[in-house]
Amino acid sequence: MTYRSKLKPEPDRRSEPKLRKCLKCGKEFISEHVGERICPTCKGRKGLY
């Protein structure tokens, strides 16, 4: 694979890990980014394999 990796770390402030509440079970979890609103437990129920 010829993947061009960036040497400089991008200051992605929008992708900060934050403690959020799951929209499905209401349990608090560490979301990896803003769009992550569902905890791994609920999310992993499908397509984890």
Answer for which of 24, 32, 33, 45 binds Zn ion (CB under 5 A) is 24
Name the residue nearer to Zn ion (CB basis): 7 or 48: 48
Q: Does 25 bind Zn ion (CB under 5 A)?
A: yes
In the complex, least distance from residue 14 CB atom to Zn ion, rounded to whole angstroms = 22
- What is the b/e burial string over 13-49, where b = at least 16 CB atoms within 10 angstroms of the residue's CB? eeeeeeebebeeeeeebebeeeebebbeeeeeeeeee
In the complex, least distance from residue 7 CB atom to Zn ion, rounded to whole angstroms = 36
